[in-house]
Amino acid sequence: MNVFINPIYKLLSGLSYLYRFTIMKSDIKIEIGMRIRQLRQKKGLTIEETAHSAGVHPNYLGEAERGKKNFSITTIEKIAKALETPVSELFSGRIANYAAKSRPAGRLVSLCKDASPEEQDFLIKTAKFIIRRKKQSA
């Protein structure tokens, strides 16, 4: 039974992520914040390191990455310099690696990649069950 706990957790966290992502309106703050996080993580930097280099508070940067802060042009420029990337990079390829994960099919594929064939079968059956229950309650 423990074999199925991890896939269930992944499925539920994936569904939770999808729910949160789809109810959030597409907002430039969210997209830029996710792009900053993507670039920061790609460079192996922590929020603290990046914030220090950019001259902003780590809490500000964390909230900005979650799309909860408005960016001034000056702040965007400071963060781009801290990430050693052009400002335009924060706007281009908008959340390239996150885009596939934000689509339901892409998110499910991502969850299934690490699962064994038995776990994949279980995930498919669970997803079908959830969809049937949702249709019945509608």
Please check the confidence at residue 112 and state whether its pLDDT lies above 90. Answer: no
Domains and CATH numbers, the chain: 2-137 (1.10.260.40)
What burial class does residue 1 get, using C-beta atoms within 10 Å of its C-beta: 0-12 exposed, 13-18 middle, 19+ buried? exposed
Q: What pLDDT is attached to residue 107? A: 65
Please state, in angstroms and rounded to a whole number, the distance separating the CA atoms of residues 66 and 36. 10
Task: Report the chain's mean pLDDT, rounded to a whole number.
Answer: 76
pLDDT digits (tens, 9 = 90+) for 61-98: 999 998 888 888 999 999 999 999 998 888 875 444 44
Q: Which pLDDT score, from 0 to 100, does residue 106 have?
A: 61
Contact 126, 11 (CB under 8 A): yes
What are the pLDDT digits (tens) for 10-68?
A: 565 555 555 454 444 447 788 888 889 989 998 999 999 999 999 999 999 999 998 88
